Amino acid sequence: MSSMKGVLVAVILASLVAYMIGSLYPVPVGIPGITTGSPGAAASTVTTTVTETMWKTTTYTNTLTSIAFQTLVSTTTVTTTLTEYSVSTIILAEGPGLTRVEVVIPSFRQADSGGELMLAGRYLALRYASWRPFIAVCEANTNTTCMYLTPFQVKGPAVYAKLLSYDGFYYTELYDVAEVVAGISSMGMAKPILLFKAADGWSCSLTASSQSAVTIANCSRVSLNVGPAKGMSMIEAVVRYVNSTSISYVSSILYQSGSEPSLPNATWRVLQWLDENASYDYDKAASNSTYIYDPITFATLKKGICTDYALFTATALVNISWDVYILVFNTTNGGHAVAGVVVNGGFFILDQHLPPVEVDDYFRDLESFIGGSLNSDIFLHRIWLENGSLRLLMTRVSLGDLARLYPDTNPADGLTQAFASELVNVFKALGRYNPGAGSQVCVDFTWPGFKYYSDALAKQYAVYVAEKVLQQGGSIIVSSVALTDQYTVHICYR
C-alpha cells in the first residue's frame, strides 16, 4: 500500500503498561420495586414502604491465567529522544488541519448514530465514527472480494486509517481517496462497489471516479460479520479515543444543549444514563476480548464490559473536571476497571450503576459489588484537558495510600440531616411542599444506595428520591420529611 500522505497526528506516548484485563465482567441484577407496609397511626393515613433496589454487580468468570501488573515507563519525544521517568505524562498533540473541504457527501448520513461520510481534501473521512468494527469495501456483484479500511494491521488488502484534526472536529477514521482508488484498481474490482459500516449494518453504492472524487448513494441495511479485533491497553484507548469529537458527542447525549452541568450533577447523570440505557455485553465477555470500545461506539451499541463503561464515563466528565480517573486493578476473581472522580473533596468510584461510591466504601464492599477481593495495587489513569491537548498521567498506588489521600466524607455511612433538608428544598423548588397540607399517605423510602450517601452529593440524592416519590402519580403535595433511620426517609403527602 502506498505510504501515508497528508496530516500527521503527533502522539507522545509516555507509559506502556503490560497488563491483562482479566475475566471479570460485572452483570447487573435486580429491579426497583414497591412493597406495601402497615397503616400509619392516623386512620386517614396509609403508610407504604417504597424500596429501591440498588443494582448489584456480580462476576462473570472465565478460566484465564492472571498475570501481575508490570510497567515500562518511558517518554518518546517527536525527535525520538528517549528519557526515563518514574512517573510520566502522555500528551496527545493534534496535527494541523487541511485548508478546505472540497466535497461534502450528504447522501451518506446516519441520523441515529451521527455518522457522516465526507471528503476532507483528498481524505475519505468518517466523522463521529469508531475504530471498530472495520469499514469493509466489497465488490457489489459477488460480495466476496473485500478491501478493509482499518486503523491497524489486518490480513488482506487494506487502506489504513489516519488521524486528522479539521475544522474544529477530530476525525478518528480517515482514508486517502487515492489509496482507495488504487486499491480498487489493483484488485480489479467492478464499479460501483459497496461500502459497509458493520456496526450499524449499512451498505452503500460507492463509485470512485478519480483520485479525488467518490460518489455514494443507495444506502440500505445489510448484515456483515466481521472478525474480532485485537486487544489494547487502557492507555492506548485513552490516547486514541478521548478527543474533542468523542467528548462533544458524549456530552450531547447526556447533557442539555448549550449548558454545562455542575460536576456533582454530571457525576450522577452519567451513571443514571448508564442505568437506563446500557447493558452488559455477554457476547463480548464470552469472547475474552480485551478490545475497548471507543465512547461513541459504546453510546451507539449501548452495551459493553467494564473497560468500555469506564472509558465512556471518564469521557463524559473530562471536559468538566481536572480530577477524572480510570482505575485498573486485579482481584481474586480477575481484573476490573472503573471510572473515578473527585467531587467536593471525596473520591467517588463510578462503576456502571448508581450511586457513586467513595473509594474507601467501594473497596471495603468489593465482594458485594463485583465478587473477589483486591489483590494488587491500583493503576490510576488521570486524564484532563490542558491548552487544548489531552493529558494522561498513569501512577501506581496502594489502596491505603489512595484512601489516606481521599478520606471518606461520611465515615458513619447512611443518610444525614443535610439530606433531609435538601429533600425539603427540592420539593419546595418543585412547588410540591406545604407543611400545613396534612397527609393521606406516608411512605418509608429505602434504598441500599443510601449506605453510600455523602453530603458531597446531597442534592443529587434528594432529586433522585423526589422523582421516585412523585412517580407515584397525582398532584402530590408533601407535608413532612423525616429520617426514620440512616437508611430510610419517611415522607408524608396528600
pTM of the prediction?
0.60
Calculate Rg over the CA atoms of the chain. 26
- Contact assessment for residue 385 and residue 391, using Cβ atoms and an 8 Å cutoff: yes
Q: Is the pLDDT of residue 254 over 80?
A: yes
Q: Is the pLDDT of residue 92 over 90?
A: no
- In the prediction, which pLDDT does 1 show? 35
pLDDT band at 332 (very low <50, low <70, confident <90, very high): very high
- In the prediction, which pLDDT does 31 show? 19
| Calpha distance 483→461 (Å, rounded) | 14
| Calpha distance 350→354 (Å, rounded) | 8
- The C-alpha angle 123, 124, 130, rounded to 5 degrees, equals 120
Q: List pLDDT tens digits, range 344-359.
A: 999 999 999 999 999 9
- Cell reading at 428: 419546595
Half-sphere exposure of 414 (CA within 13 A, CB side): 10
Report residue 59: phi and psi, to 5°.
-115, 130
pLDDT band at 288 (very low <50, low <70, confident <90, very high): confident
Q: Which of 214-218, 279-283, 332-336, 452-456 has the highest mean pLDDT?
A: 452-456
- DSSP letters, 334-369, are EEEEEEEEEETTEEEEE-SSSSPEEHHHHHHTHHHH
Report residue 179: phi and psi, to 5°.
-70, -40
pLDDT more than 90, % of the chain: 36
| Calpha distance 459→426 (Å, rounded) | 8
Q: List pLDDT tens digits, range 170-202.
A: 333 344 445 555 655 665 554 444 444 333 344
Q: Which helix or strand (DSSP H or E) is residue 22 part of? A: none
More confident residue, 388 or 489: 489
- The C-alpha angle 425, 430, 433, rounded to 5 degrees, equals 60
| Calpha distance 356→267 (Å, rounded) | 8
- Cell reading at 377: 495495587
CA–CA distances in Å: residue 491 to residues 221, 418, 432, 433, 466: 51, 15, 12, 11, 10
Q: Is the pLDDT of residue 99 over 80?
A: no
Q: Is the pLDDT of residue 452 over 80?
A: yes
Q: Is the pLDDT of residue 90 over 60?
A: no
Locate the domains of the chain by residue range: 27-56+413-493, 103-221, 231-405
CATH number assigned to the domain covering 231-405 = 3.10.620.30
Q: Which of 156-160, 177-181, 212-216, 317-321 has the highest mean pLDDT?
A: 317-321
By mean pLDDT, which of 70-74, 336-340, 346-350 is the weakest?
A: 70-74
Q: List pLDDT tens digits, range 393-440.
A: 778 889 999 999 999 999 999 999 999 999 999 999 999 999 988 878
Strands (E), 368-472: 374-386, 389-397, 441-446
Q: Mean pLDDT across the stretch 293-302?
A: 91
- In the prediction, which pLDDT does 188 show? 55
pLDDT band at 273 (very low <50, low <70, confident <90, very high): very high
